[in-house]
């Protein structure tokens, strides 16, 4: 059989086609059945409920606590800590908010102790560390805390839990203790929370969907072991797309996430596009199964 001679133009076109096919079949994170079902939602206020949320475990506290630009104390923002992320609280009564500033040299964790008093713990950025401080997630046992950067990342950061870990002090730099090395890149993680000692549930604001195979995914990260202050690996699974429902069309923004171990309810914030950000942004509630 005579094979036709290809011109250089056709060879270039064929090469481009093959490259697109290779990109389309590039490895994706493990996919799982949709094991989290939305059972309802509550309106999320853009000023005070737009960044993150957590369940409060102390009897004196409200059952849920939110962060937003309107929850940043004036004394905190006046010192440059002008962005608050997704907070977390421990069963032992510690509540922690993550802060970042425009200076790009440090991060700050604002801690409320069980007795109601506050303290600030500052972390000077390590070599190669991004200045973003999107969230904190306290591991069961309370001694270790996970935090996240921004953009496309193949790791999460592990710190001793400020205030709860006895090796931390407001007068000393909060050190980076370890990393969670992910087996697949994640994009724009806005919040994570522990559902067990070795499982993190995370909310991703990934608008492209190239890394996970879907946009705005709920992501599960299974750790190779409980956190002890040394590096562990994390297996990434894209579970489902988070709900995108609004009267407006455009770009949604996925924000923080919370898993209440007492009730088994998972909650995550999705801010609506355009002017609807003030009208129908939602905190979604999910149950397993």
Query: Beta strand pairing status for 189-196 and 232-241?
Result: unpaired
Per DSSP, the chain holds a count of helices (H) and strands (E) of: 2, 20
Given 2.40.50, 2.40.160, 2.120.10, 2.60.40, which CATH number is that of 30-288?
Answer: 2.120.10
Buried b (16+ CB within 10 A) or exposed e, 60-70: ebeebbbbbee
Which pLDDT score is estimated for 279? 97
Closest CA to 50 of 270, 245, 203, 204: 270
For residue 274, the model assigns a pLDDT of 97
> What is the tens place of the pLDDT at every residue in 151-199?
999 999 999 999 999 999 999 999 999 999 999 999 999 999 999 999 9
Tell me, what's the pLDDT at 162? 98
Kindly state the helix (H) or strand (E) to which residue 8 belongs, with its residue range. helix 8-24
136: which residues sit within 8 A by CB, 6+ positions away? 85, 86, 87, 88, 96, 97, 98, 109, 145, 146, 147
Between CA 23 and CA 31, with CA 25 as vertex, the angle to 5 degrees is 125
- Residue 105: the pLDDT is 94
Question: pLDDT (tens digit, 0 to 9) for every residue of the chain, 289 residues total?
Answer: 343 443 433 433 434 333 333 333 334 555 454 589 999 999 999 999 999 999 998 666 668 999 999 999 999 999 999 999 999 999 999 999 999 999 889 999 999 999 999 999 999 999 999 999 999 999 999 999 999 999 999 999 999 999 999 999 999 999 999 999 999 999 999 999 999 999 999 999 999 998 889 999 999 999 999 999 999 999 999 999 999 999 999 999 999 999 999 899 999 999 999 999 999 999 999 999 8
Q: Provide the residue count of the chain.
A: 289
Query: What's the pLDDT at 90?
Result: 96
- Provide φ and ψ at 202, rounded to 5°: -130, 150
Q: Nearest-CA neighbor of 212 among 194, 190, 187, 189? A: 187
Contact between 128 and 122 under an 8 Å Cβ cutoff? The reply is: no
pLDDT of the residue at 61: 61
In angstroms, how far is CA 54 from the centroid of its own chain? Answer: 13
Q: What is the pLDDT of residue 60?
A: 62
Res 21: pLDDT? 34
The dihedrals phi and psi of 79, each to the nearest 5 degrees, come to -95, 10
Q: pTM score, two decimals?
A: 0.88
């Amino acid at each position: 059989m005579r094979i036709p001679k290809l011109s250089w133009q056709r060879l270039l076109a064929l090469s481009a086609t093959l490259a697109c096919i290779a990109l389309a079949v590039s490895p994706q994170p493990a996919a799982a059945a949709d094991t989290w079902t939305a059972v309802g939602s509550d309106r999320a206020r853009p000023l005070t409920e737009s960044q993150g949320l957590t369940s409060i475990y102390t009897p004196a506290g409200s059952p849920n606590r939110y962060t937003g630009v309107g929850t940043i104390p004036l004394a905190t923002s006046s010192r440059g800590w002008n962005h608050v992320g997704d907070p977390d609280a421990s069963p032992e009564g510690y509540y922690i908010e993550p802060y970042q500033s425009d200076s790009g040299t440090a991060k700050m964790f604002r801690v409320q102790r069980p007795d109601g008093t506050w303290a600030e713990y500052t972390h000077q950025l390590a070599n190669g560390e991004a200045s973003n401080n999107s969230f904190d997630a306290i591991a069961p046992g309370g001694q270790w805390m996970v935090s996240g950067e921004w953009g496309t990342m193949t790791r999460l950061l592990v710190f001793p839990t400020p205030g709860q870990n006895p090796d931390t002090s407001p007068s000393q730099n909060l050190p980076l203790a370890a990393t969670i090395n992910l087996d697949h890149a994640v994009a724009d993680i806005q919040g994570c929370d522990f559902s067990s000692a070795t499982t993190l549930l995370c909310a991703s604001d990934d608008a492209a969907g190239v890394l996970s195979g879907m946009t705005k995914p709920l992501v599960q990260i299974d750790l190779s072991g409980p956190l002890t202050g040394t590096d562990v690996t994390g297996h990434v699974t894209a579970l489902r797309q988070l709900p995108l429902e609004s009267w407006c069309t455009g770009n949604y923004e996925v924000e923080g996430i919370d898993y209440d171990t007492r009730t088994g309810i998972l909650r995550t914030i999705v801010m609506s596009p355009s002017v609807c950000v003030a009208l129908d942004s939602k905190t979604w509630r999910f149950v397993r199964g």
